[in-house]
Amino acid sequence: MAKTNHIAIVPSPGYTHLVPIIEFSKRLIKHHPNFHVTCIVPSLGPPPESSKAYLKTLPSNIDTILLPPINKEQLPQAVNPAVLIHLTITLSLPSIHEVLKSLCSKAPLTAFVVDVFAFQALEYAKEFNALSYFYFPSSAMILSLLIHASKLDEEVSGEYKDLTEPIKLPGCVPVMGVDFPDPTQDRSGEIYKDFLERAKAMVTADGILINTFLEMEPGAIRALQEFENGKIRLYPVGPITQKGSSNEADESDKCLRWLDKQPPCSVLYVSFGSGGTLSQHQINELAWGLELSGQRFLWVLRAPSNSVSAAYLEAAKEDPLQFLPSGFLERTKEKGLVVPSWAPQVQVLSHNSVGGFLTHCGWNSTLESVQEGVPLITWPLFAEQKMNAVMLTDGLKVALRPKFNKYGIVEKEEIAKVMKCLMDGEEGKGMRERMMNLKDSAANALNDGSSTQALSQLASHWESFSGI
Ligand code: UDP
């Protein structure tokens, strides 16, 4: 009987960081059944119901170990999810170490794979004689920024957001400093220091698994593979996405039944990920813009907040529909559906009535849209989403990016204009065609194309390391 290779993985807290790394593990064991994966799950407060339900569905060769949750009261009152994630991992390090020790006392570990936000844990790989890998849950363009961050830090003076010329990362579309990820926007802050620390750690691993695919980012991927004569072993294994989940069965059915009644390719799906929020002012403008456009829409609405990532690690309890402008639901009932907080996104995007997606450009949403060939309106809110928007609009040309006014608001006329352009215009048609091409490439990459080959190379390397 073939010997088993043991792998341990550590996701970072939050449902959207948990799912892709586990979906990667599922792919690994499906294609290479001689692997066994243990997923060590840190969490801030008790894990959300969605994570617990998902973990119950895993096959027998993926074990999960839930670490003692970090008590929210132990952490400072920070609203930035990146800070909370970083602190949760730091405080979970002793329990991660304990689990690794116990695992290795039973069987040797071949590889230790950690999400990029759990980078501090990677140092344990050496102690337990395992190979060390990062799982990078975002684009090659963002990885390129991390890889070049130290050099940029030395060469660029002042704030990135004040630069008047774009920065050209190797193989990537040029990007203005103002579109760099949030942690880089204040170079004197602690968050920027964490970012640089994480960036430096990236080159110390034995390899990086990245959730993208060669055909989507050929320039960035090739440039990373050539960086300092192959210093980084990069494995583009994506697109790895969830197969569909729903928190509220009734609401899910309602969305899909409503979509069944709409004409093909006619509906714009509007959603800001698992936790993105808008201000009350912006909710009003978006509502009026949707109405003004005359287009059909399915809007996943959250209660307003002045912090764009307010609901990321903690959902609001209020009914969001009460925050819509008065009479909006009645006036738009023939054209639109508004659902509170959550929709079955993967099923929605695969429905043939959906013709566009207004998205905050989270990487999972981006890949899910690519896999369904749905063109985008980009509305980045936080983290690295602005850079994703640049790649999608200027690089791949599969998205339109509405303009924010000087108060940071997208006005109703602008919303209506980009909606009409995407759903009805010639420009939108070209974007849909390019998205359909990407959809085919994604399917090929996962069939027996580039991503499956990258996974096989990785598995062979792991097998030869453990001598099996
Ligand atoms: N999602 C969903 N329904 C919703 C909102 C989000 O199923 O109403 C899922 C979506 O399919 C994706 C994830 O939540 O898999 C969002 O991840 P992304 O990286 O796009 O954004 P984040 O939530 O991390 O900001």
Same domain, 103 and 212: yes
Q: Which of 6, 36, 86, 115 is catalytic?
A: 115
Tally of structural domains, the chain:
2
What is the SS3 string spanning 407-458?
Answer: CCCCCHHHHHHHHHHHHHCHHHHHHHHHHHHHHHHHHHHHHCCHHHHHHHHH
Q: Which atom of ligand 1 is nearest to the CA of 362?
A: 20
* d(C-alpha 386, C-alpha 251), whole Å: 30
Query: What confidence tens digit (pLDDT) does each residue in 200-253 have?
Result: 999 999 999 999 999 999 999 999 999 999 999 999 999 999 876 555 566 678
Count of residues making up the chain: 468
Q: Which atom of ligand 1 is nearest to the CA of 245?
A: 7
Domain check: are 425 and 329 in the same one? yes
Ligand 1 atom 11: the closest Cα is on which residue?
345
3-state SS assignment for residue 175: strand
Which residue among the candidates 6, 17, 86, 148 is catalytic per the annotation? 17
CATH of the domain at 366: 3.40.50.2000
**pTM for the whole structure:** 0.95
Q: Domain check: are 196 and 342 in the same one?
A: no
Do 125 and 177 share a domain, yes or no?
A: yes
Confirm or reject: Cβ of 362 under 6 Å from ligand 1.
yes
**What dihedral angle (degrees, nearest 10) is formed by the CA atoms of 174, 360, 418, 432?**
80
What is the CA(345)–ligand 1 centre distance, in A?
Answer: 7
> Quick check: CB of 48 below 6 Å from ligand 1?
no
Q: Are residues 354 and 237 in the same domain?
A: no
Say how many Å lie between the CA of residue 331 and the centre of ligand 1: 28
Residues forming beta bridges with residue 111, ordered by sequence position? 7, 131
Indicate whether 428 and 459 sit together in one domain: no
Question: Which of 269, 243, 275 has the alpha carbon at shortest distance from 255?
Answer: 269
Q: Are residues 188 and 274 in the same domain?
A: no
Same domain, 180 and 266: no
Q: How many other CB atoms are there within 10 angstroms of residue 273's CB atom?
A: 24
17 is catalytic: yes
Strand order across the beta sheet in which 131-136 lies: 62-66, 35-41, 5-10, 111-115, 131-136, 207-210, 234-236
Cβ of 274 less than 6 Å from ligand 1: yes
Pairwise CA distance, residues 416 & 286, whole Å: 9
Contact criterion met (CB below 8 Å) for 316 and 280: no
Q: Is the CB of 92 under 6 A from ligand 1?
A: no
Q: Is 346 in the pocket of ligand 1 (CB under 6 A)?
A: yes
Distances (CA, A) of 257 to 20, 251, 352: 28, 10, 12
For 425, residues 6+ apart whose C-beta sits below 8 A from its C-beta are: none
Report whether residue 40 contacts ligand 1, using a CB cutoff of 6 Å. no
Ligand 1 contact via 273 beta carbon (within 6 Å): yes
Q: How far is the CA of 125 from the centre of ligand 1 (A)?
A: 31
Residue 339 alpha carbon, nearest atom of ligand 1: 8
Q: How many Å lie between the centroid of ligand 1 and the Cα of residue 14? A: 11
Q: Where are the beta strands (DSSP E) in 233-284?
A: 234-236, 267-271
Instruction: Say whether both 305 and 424 belong to one domain.
Output: yes
Domain of 16, in residue numbers: 5-242+445-464
Is residue 159 exposed (0-12), middle (13-18) or buried (19+ Cβ within 10 Å)? middle
Alpha-carbon span 27 to 259, nearest angstrom: 31
Verify that 51 and 23 share a domain, yes or no. Answer: yes
| CA 432 / ligand 1 centre spacing (Å) | 21
Q: What are the DSSP E strand ranges found in 180-221?
A: 207-210
Contact by Cβ (8 Å): 54, 79: no
Give the Å distance between the CA of 452 and the centre of ligand 1. Answer: 24
Chain centre distance of CA 395: 18
- Cβ of 239 closer than 6 Å to ligand 1, yes or no, is no
Tell me how far the alpha carbon of residue 97 lies from the centroid of ligand 1, in angstroms: 30
End-to-end C-alpha distance for the chain, whole angstroms: 11
Read out DSSP for 275-326? T----HHHHHHHHHHHHHH--EEEEEE----SSTTTTSSS---S-GGGGSPT
Tokens of 341: 């907080």
Same domain? For 438 and 450 the reply is no
Atom of ligand 1 nearest to the CA of 300: 8
Q: Dihedral through CA 389, CA 390, CA 393, CA 395, nearest 10?
A: -130
Is 346 in contact with 366 (CB distance < 8 Å)? Answer: no
Q: Greatest CA span in the chain, whole angstroms?
A: 68
In angstroms, rounded to a whole number, what is the distance separating the alpha carbons of residues 235 and 457?
8
Q: Measured from the CB, is residue 300 less than 6 Å from ligand 1?
A: yes
> What is the helix (H) or strand (E) element at residue 79, kind and residue range?
none
| 102 plus 179 within the same structural domain | yes
Instruction: Say how many Å lie between the CA of residue 126 and the centre of ligand 1.
Output: 34
Pocket lining: 271 vs ligand 1, CB cutoff 6 Å:
yes
Name the residue at shortest CA distance from atom 24 of ligand 1.
Answer: 16
Strand partners, 7: 37, 111
Residue minimizing CA distance to atom 16 of ligand 1:
273
Peptide bond into 239 cis (omega under 30): yes
Tens digits of pLDDT across the chain (468 residues): 568 999 999 999 888 889 999 999 999 999 999 999 999 999 999 988 888 888 999 999 999 999 999 998 888 876 677 788 889 999 999 999 999 999 999 999 999 999 998 999 999 999 999 999 999 999 999 999 999 999 999 999 999 999 999 999 999 999 999 999 999 999 999 889 989 999 999 999 999 999 999 999 999 999 999 999 999 999 999 999 987 655 556 667 899 999 999 999 999 999 999 889 999 999 999 999 999 999 999 999 999 987 766 666 566 678 999 999 999 999 999 999 999 988 999 999 999 999 999 999 999 999 999 999 999 999 999 999 999 999 999 999 999 999 999 999 999 999 999 999 999 999 999 999 999 999 999 999 999 999 999 999 999 999 998 754
* Residue 299 Cβ < 6 Å to ligand 1: no
Q: For this structure, is 115 an active site residue? A: yes
